[in-house]
Amino acid sequence: MRIVLLGPPGAGKGTQAQFLSERLSIPAISTGDIFRANVGGGTDLGRQAQAFMDKGELVPDDITNAMVRDRLGDGSAANGFLLDGYPRNPDQAVELDTMLADFDTHLDVAIEITADVEEVTSRLLSRAEIEGRSDDTEDVIRRRLEVYATETAPVSAYYEGRGVLRQIDGTGDITEVTARLFHAVGV
C-alpha cells in the first residue's frame, strides 16, 4: 500500500507510523526524521533545513520535494510506503502525484490523525522535557501549529476531493489510536 499520514504536529504521526509500517512491512518515511538526521550529520541539506525547522517554518518545497523523490526512487519503496509529514502543503501534494505517476503508481489512502490544539501542545511540551528537540519550545510550537492551519490543513481537502481521505481521532491511549488506524486502513 501507498499511504500518506496527515495531522498537526504532536497528533502522533511519527508514533503511529512505526506501528503501521511494521504491520504492513513497508518503510515509514518521515521527512522530519530525514531532515533531523541531516542536521545531526552536518550535511549541506541539514544546514539548509535547520534554519527553517528551528523557526517552525516549512523547509522550502524545492529542497523537500527533491529529497522525497530520491527516497521514493531508491528501490526500497517500490512495493509500498508510508509517508509521515509529507505532503505538507497543496503544492507538495500535487508534486507527490507527479512523482508517483512517473513511477507508474498512485496513492491508495491518506489518513488524517486529528487532535485539538491543547492536546498536541501539551504532548509536545512533554516531549521537549524528554528529548529536548530544538523546535519543541512554546513559541516554535505555536508557529508550527499556525503553519499547519494555513499551509497543511488544505491538504486534507485535496485528498477528500479525490475520495481517498480517512480521518481518525488521535486522542486517547497510543494503543487505542493504533487500533483506529489499523481499522481505517483495513488491516
Active site residues: 13, 88, 123, 133, 144
- Measured from the CB of residue 40, what is the shortest distance to ligand B4P in angstroms? 13
Instruction: Work out the angle at residue 181's Cα, subtended by the Cα atoms of residues 176 and 184, and round it to the nearest 5 degrees.
Output: 130
What backbone torsions phi and psi does residue 166 show, to the nearest 5 degrees? -130, 135
Give yes or no for residue 50 binding ligand B4P (CB under 6 A).
no
Give yes or no for residue 159 binding ligand B4P (CB under 6 A).
no
- Measured from the CB of residue 64, what is the shortest distance to ligand B4P in angstroms? 4
What backbone torsions phi and psi does residue 5 show, to the nearest 5 degrees? -110, 120
CA distance 135 to 112: 22
CA distance 102 to 21: 24
First to last CA, the chain: 11
State which residue, 112 or 135, has the beta carbon closest to ligand B4P.
135
Q: Per the structure block, which three cell numbers stand in for 23?
A: 504491520
Give yes or no for residue 71 binding ligand B4P (CB under 6 A).
no
Applying CB under 6 A, which part among 18-26, 27-35, 74-82, 96-104 lies near ligand B4P?
Answer: 27-35
What backbone torsions phi and psi does residue 4 show, to the nearest 5 degrees? -115, 135
- Measured from the CB of residue 170, what is the shortest distance to ligand B4P in angstroms? 6
Angle separating helix axes 61-72 and 90-102, nearest 10 degrees: 30
Q: Per the structure block, which three cell numbers stand in for 161?
A: 476531493
- Measured from the CB of residue 174, what is the shortest distance to ligand B4P in angstroms? 4
State which residue, 42 or 104, has the beta carbon closest to ligand B4P.
42
Give yes or no for residue 15 binding ligand B4P (CB under 6 A).
yes
State which residue, 2 or 88, has the beta carbon closest to ligand B4P.
88
State which residue, 119 or 160, has the beta carbon closest to ligand B4P.
119
CA distance 60 to 43: 17
The closest residue (CB) to ligand B4P is: 32
Can you give the binding site for ligand B4P, defined by CB under 6 A? Answer: 9-15, 30-32, 35, 52-53, 56-59, 64, 85-86, 88, 92, 123-124, 127, 135, 144, 174, 177
